[in-house]
A and B are shown apart, each in its own frame.
Chain A
Amino acid sequence: MRMLLRRATRPHVVAAALVLPLAVLAWIGATRAELVAPILLPELGDVLDRLWSLFAEGTIRPHLVRTASSVLLGFAIGAVAGIVVAAALTSADRVSQRTYSTMLASLEAVPIVVIAPILNTLFGFGMSSKVAAASVSAFFPVFVTAFAGLSLVSADELKLMRSLRASRLQVMVKLRLPAALPAIFGGLRIAIAFSLVATVIAEFVGTDRGLGYLMLRFRGAYDTASMWAIILVFAGLGAIAFVVLQVAERRVVHWRR
């Protein structure tokens, strides 16, 4: 308790806690004094009003559900694919490993923005094109980190497993995967952020539902307060994803720290 108190009263912790109220004050002050264009930054009260009514009137619900499910589904597909491909590659010979991991990782440089319209044409304007975009962007960070993590095991450890007559599957599940988990979680954290970005981009490019679509609709009406409300929703989504992954990581990688 005492330690907690001491920790909580450290100057930087206090300062960190003060940043948010200060930012809110600055927002209110700047809009009241008309320092910023209201079209860029409307009054905080208006934004919160819109946020409240978006939820209270249920306007946001179908869009939120569509975006969240696209992100989650795409994230799941991309992450599983990334881990499976990485695991398959670790059992190949060295030259193949280097060649294929480099080729795959290079593909990541292709911006999802130019792929998204094509995915829309291929899969239609519905949810599947968003899931496709999200899983493509989730794949790469998971693949890269999983591949690096799965290759972490030492020759001695491999020898030991072999001397115990461990099968390939056992080596993978009992040795490689646990060694790779911390790295994989690092990749998952990037991947969830990437799949959120990819989903939004795909929704911007063309859809009939989703938060990205809603945002463009408000842009058409020059309703910046509502656009800020949706940005806050996105911030919330990002924060939830971050916290959930953090908790999952502590649970799964319990032997660390």
Chain B
Amino acid sequence: MSAIDSVPVTVPVATTSADDLVTAFLTAGRRHRRFRAVAGRVAIAVALVLGTWYALPPLGVVERVFLPAPHDVLGRLIELVQTASLWENARATASVALWGYAVAIAIGLTSGVLLGTVPFLGRALAPYLGALQALPKVVFAPLLITWLGFGNESKVATAAIVAMLPIVIDTMVGLQSCSDDAVKLLRSYRTSRWRTFWLLRVPASLPLVFVGLRQALLLSLAGTLLAEALIGSSEGLGHLVELYNGQILMDRAYAVVVVVACIALVVSVLLAWLERRIIYWRGHELT
């Protein structure tokens, strides 16, 4: 077993579901009957969740103040969506998350390519990458805030640090994933290293690189929200949740959580769709 094998490849957890959703959308129109069956199941699940939600406070499990009724949350959500302040906060969060994402991609792709194309480096650092995976990156957030202050810099840095590692590892493993036979074949044609890299390694790595990129975007969003909450920031969706939660305006807090959930879901579905367009050969393996 080489050292590389001991690095657990980041498993595409959240991404598989986004993939399924894309499939569902793409095939929904064609298969009405199946769609109806699925819709029925969804309705059952929603009814079950809503039923429990309504039932809990009267049963005395939680107090109504802490768990407002679903229709109240929905009402607040509709109100909230129409206010400018929600979108300003969403914009603030999105801009920090995207900056963090950009930094994570710049550093992550560069080091991933380096580790993936220089086998010696990759093997020497693999155990440390595994160790870094086990370390919760969020613990760096307070340190970064102490260093960079309470502005946007520390938020961007937190987002980048939280998001970076999957890109590094998936790029590295992806670049190593093409078969030895394919490499030998190209070498027998005297293909230059450079051309081998672009013609073989890069296309072979893309599916895994995309998994890393998708994970990283969600992580960058999470890192941003955390930094906003930790800093006591005056803007951003993370700040909004903290604010409403602190004032026990739970219906509003839940409404913001729904907004964040929708954003995260839309982002991951969008990336899944983009991935299908770019990696059109997936399922018909190249190597």
Does chain A bind chain B?
A: yes
What 1/0 mask marks residues of chain A from 70 to 81 whose CB sits below 8 Å from any chain B CB?
Answer: 000000000000
Q: Among B119, B139, B221, B264, which residue has its beta carbon within 8 angstroms of that of A215?
A: B139
Q: Report the stretch among A55-63, A160-168, A171-179, A222-230 that lies at the interface.
A: A222-230
Q: Indicate if B50 sits at the interface (CB-CB under 8 A).
A: no
B145 at the interface (CB under 8 A from A): yes
Most chain B beta-carbon contacts within 10 A, residue among A15, A96, A118: A118
B139 and A19 contact, CB distance less than 8 A: no
Is A110 a contact partner of B123 (Cβ separation < 8 A)?
no
Q: Is the CB of B226 closer than 8 A to any CB of chain A?
A: yes
B183 located at the interface, meaning its Cβ lies under 8 Å from any Cβ of chain A in the complex: no
Contact with B along A88-125 (1 / 0, CB 8 A): 00000001101111111111111111110110111000
B260 and A110: CB pair below 8 A?
Answer: yes
Does B185 lie at the interface of the complex (its beta carbon under 8 Å from any beta carbon of A)?
no
A33 at the interface (CB under 8 A from B): no
B21, B137, B226: the one contacting A204 at CB < 8 Å is B226
Shortest distance between the CB of A24 and any CB in chain B (Å): 13
Complexed CA–CA distance, A13 and B123 (Å) = 8
A219–B226 contact, CB under 8 A?
A: no
Contact of A219 with B146 in the complex, beta carbons under 8 Å: yes
Find out whether the CB atom of B147 lies under 8 angstroms from the CB atom of A122: no
Smallest beta-carbon distance B211→chain A, Å: 13
Contact B245 A216 (CB under 8 A): no
Residues of A within 8 A of B218 (CB): 109, 111
Question: Within 8 Å of chain B (Cβ to Cβ): is A152?
Answer: no
Q: In the bound complex, do residue B135 and residue A16 qualify as a contact, i.e. CB atoms below 8 Å apart?
A: no
Q: How far is the CA of A122 from the CA of B3 in the complex (A)?
A: 45
Interface of A is mostly: helix
Residue on B with the closest CB to A221? B146
Q: Which of A1-37 contact B (CB under 8 A)?
A: 11-13, 15-16, 18-20, 37
Query: Quick check: A103 and B131 within 8 Å, CB to CB?
Result: no
B286 within 8 A of A: no
- By a CB distance below 8 angstroms, the chain A residues around B66 are 121-122
Determine the residue in chain A with the shortest Cβ distance to B125.
Answer: A19
Instruction: Please tell me if the beta carbons of B138 and A200 are within 8 angstroms of each other in the complex.
Output: yes
In whole angstroms, how far apart are the Cα atoms of A224 and B8 in the complex?
31
Instruction: Say which residue of B16, B134, B264 sits within 8 Å of A241 (CB atoms).
Output: B134
Q: How many residues of A contact B (CB 8 A)?
A: 68
How many A-B residue pairs have C-beta atoms within 8 angstroms? Tell me: 192
B24 lies within 8 A of A100 (CB): no
The minimal Cβ–Cβ distance linking A186 to chain B, given in whole angstroms, is: 6
Question: Which of B82-90, B167-175, B202-210, B249-257 lies at the binding interface?
Answer: B249-257
Q: Is the CB of A190 within 8 A of B41?
A: no
Minimum-distance CB pairs A-B, first 5: A238-B134, A105-B17, A15-B124, A12-B123, A111-B222
Quick one: which of A111, A222, A242 contacts B130, CB cutoff 8 A? A242
In the complex, chain B residues whose CB is within 8 Å of the CB of A40: 143, 146-147
Is B20 engaged at the interface, CB distance under 8 Å to the other chain?
yes
Q: Is there contact, CB below 8 Å, between A118 and B250?
A: yes
Q: Please give, as numbers and ranges, the residues of chain B lying within 8 Å of A248 by CB-CB distance.
A: none
- CB under 8 Å from chain A, chain B span 224-238: 225-226, 229-230, 237-238
Residues 118-166 of A at the B interface (beta carbon under 8 Å):
118, 120-122, 140-141, 144-145
B16 touches A113 (CB 8 A): no
Query: B241 an interface residue at 8 Å Cβ cutoff?
Result: yes
**CA A234 – CA B242 in complex, angstroms?**
26
Is B62 part of the binding interface, using a Cβ–Cβ cutoff of 8 Å? yes
